[in-house]
Amino acid sequence: MGRVVAQNTYLELSEDGGGAHKYYEVIVSGLDVTITYGRIGETGQTKTSTFATAEKALAAATKKIGEKTRKGYAPAVRGVRQRRAVSRRVIQSTRSTARQAPVLWRFASGAAAFGIFIDENRCWVGNQNGDVYTVTHGGEVTGRFRLPDGVKCIVADDFWIYAGADDGKVYDLSGKVPRVAYEIAEDVDIYWLDIDDGVLGVSDRGGRITTINHEDEFQWARSGAGDYAWMVRCDRDAVYHGHSKGVARYAAADGSPVWHTPTNGDVLFGWQERSSVYAGTSRGKVYRLGKADGAVEAVYTCDAAVFSCATAPDGRYVFAGDSSSSVYCFDQGGELLWKLATGCGSAFSMQFLDDRLYIVTTDGTLACIDASEQAIHAAQAGTVPVPLDVKAAAGLAAVEPTVTLEVAAQSDEGVVVECVREGDKLRVRVVSPGYESGWYVQFPKNVREAGARYLVDGVRSSGRGGFYRSYGEIKRLL
């Protein structure tokens, strides 16, 4: 028998002149066809199929290559285009000289943590190892997800909880299994994310702001006056963007500029309330800016660079975390009410709820601080509780993203949706009666298959109207 010579075809896709960078490799060796695909710079997924004859193997490979080239893939040389750039926020944190804050409990997540979200039911923390934990308000670890790369931030949009990761994907954590909801273009080095009614805002290292709609499609992008954009906040009317030169407002619909307000120092974090946005800066200031006109309404002065900030509802109190492991509380007008030490590193992110201030820190700790008046007065006098050190159960399994779907049983209840091909797009519509037949459904792209039907727990109309958003578990209908 003669020696089998492998035929190798390597393709890459560059969308929108430098957007998503993917590869697709087909190797034909005798009766075997091996296909490897994924994002450039990553291992990717591999599948090998065996055919009855070498001719059938070659025909199958040729068909696959043709399908990809029609979608824009082109021959390339492996290694020329590099994988997505990733910026890690490496900032020195020093020890606070203030009195200790009244920490009720603390959970060591295992790595520096940026991601935090607190709601009425639980606390979320995501770290640079890609771990996302859920913790009760009493300090019990109840769940764990494992994402492929470090977590930049965790944001909520009504029912949905999203985690933005360094692999350029935004994962929906609202179900039992993480699902990819958005994929950010390869040339966007993500710094921060926010979302409103399915519209995603992305700020990046280059000082740009980009928005993506519910179908994971590019809407608009703008270059800011500065770079290193750590702040993005979205509402129905606007996107607020903070970078090294200040804060800007853009119209949500088309990105047209509305105002720009300079700040003293780089913007390192942003927060928003109904009528104001807040920007923490490298010069130890937190600015409160009016959403309508960008006017400076108040300035809150800290003793070091501000890594994070948050407010009580409607800005009644303003909180800040600095690079010296201190947390501050100001009244609405700017008067300092207290400054205390975290005891567990500088707060990269924070959120206030029901007289408690939750922080995630440079050493990866999620801490719950009692911010009630009584507890703060006691701490200022030197009396604090002994914090509970929370541990995750040894057998707590990490749930990883997957494209595998369970098959729905006949007894399962839910809403039926169907994936249909429209041109070169795969869209999802509701099949169950009682819904708008012309509306698309926000649905994970990497599980869509033309002609397939799925059962979801439910769908909700978007706040703006015009499309539905699926939620809960997704099962395949046979």
Query: pLDDT digit string (tens) for 389-447?
Result: 999 998 899 999 998 999 999 889 999 999 999 998 999 999 999 999 899 999 998 89
Whether 293 and 420 share a structural domain: no
Whether 66 and 111 share a structural domain: no
Residue 17 pLDDT class (50, 70, 90 cuts): very low
Whether 11 and 116 share a structural domain: no
In a domain, 86, yes or no: no
* Cα 180 → chain centroid: 10
Mark out the alpha helices in 312-437 (DSSP H runs).
373-380
In a domain, 370, yes or no: yes
Residues 258-294 have pLDDT tens digits of 999 999 999 999 999 999 999 999 999 999 999 999 9
Which long-range contacts does 461-464 make (Cβ < 8 Å, 24+ apart)? 462/197, 462/198, 462/214, 463/158, 463/197, 463/236, 464/197, 464/236
So what's the pLDDT on residue 111? 93
In a domain, 22, yes or no: yes
Bridge partners, residue 390, by sequence: 107
Whichever domain contains 179, its CATH number is 2.130.10.10
Residues 126-170 have pLDDT tens digits of 999 999 999 999 999 999 999 999 999 999 999 999 999 988 899
In a domain, 91, yes or no: no
Whether 156 and 63 share a structural domain: no
Whether 194 and 319 share a structural domain: yes
The CB-side HSE value for 73 (13 A sphere, CA atoms) comes to: 23
Q: Which of 430, 450, 431 is nearest to 440 (CA)?
A: 430
So what's the pLDDT on residue 63? 87
How far apart, in whole angstroms, are the C-alpha atoms of residue 173 and residue 53?
Answer: 45
When divided into structural domains, the chain yields a total of 3
User: Taking a C-beta distance cutoff of 8 angstroms, is the pair 200, 212 a contact?
Assistant: yes
User: Taking a C-beta distance cutoff of 8 angstroms, is the pair 247, 279 a contact?
Assistant: yes
Residues 19-71 have pLDDT tens digits of 456 788 999 988 888 988 876 776 666 778 888 898 888 988 998 888 888 76
How far apart, in whole angstroms, are the C-alpha atoms of residue 453 and residue 301?
Answer: 56
Residue 77 pLDDT class (50, 70, 90 cuts): confident
- Mapping DSSP to helix (H, G, I), strand (E, B) and coil, where does residue 79 land? coil
In a domain, 94, yes or no: no
In a domain, 84, yes or no: no
How far apart, in whole angstroms, are the C-alpha atoms of residue 295 and residue 54?
Answer: 71
- Domain boundary (350, 365, 390) is at 390
Whether 44 and 157 share a structural domain: no
- Mapping DSSP to helix (H, G, I), strand (E, B) and coil, where does residue 376 land? helix
- From the number of C-beta atoms within 10 Å of its C-beta (0-12, 13-18, 19+), residue 397 rates as exposed
How far apart, in whole angstroms, are the C-alpha atoms of residue 186 and residue 20?
Answer: 5
How far apart, in whole angstroms, are the C-alpha atoms of residue 369 and residue 134?
Answer: 17
Residue in this structure with the two tokens 């608009």, named with its chain if needed: 220
In a domain, 305, yes or no: yes
Whether 419 and 341 share a structural domain: no
- Domain boundary (28, 59, 75) is at 75
Whether 376 and 420 share a structural domain: no
Residue 97 pLDDT class (50, 70, 90 cuts): confident
Q: Could you list the residue range(s) of the whole structural domain that residue 11 is in? A: 7-75
Residue in this structure with the two tokens 């600015």, named with its chain if needed: 287
Q: How many CB atoms lie within 10 A of CB 201?
A: 24
User: Taking a C-beta distance cutoff of 8 angstroms, is the pair 39, 22 a contact?
Assistant: yes
Residue 214 pLDDT class (50, 70, 90 cuts): very high
Q: Which of 171, 192, 188 is nearest to 180 (CA)?
A: 171
pTM of the model: 0.82
User: Taking a C-beta distance cutoff of 8 angstroms, is the pair 296, 287 a contact?
Assistant: yes
Whether 265 and 325 share a structural domain: yes
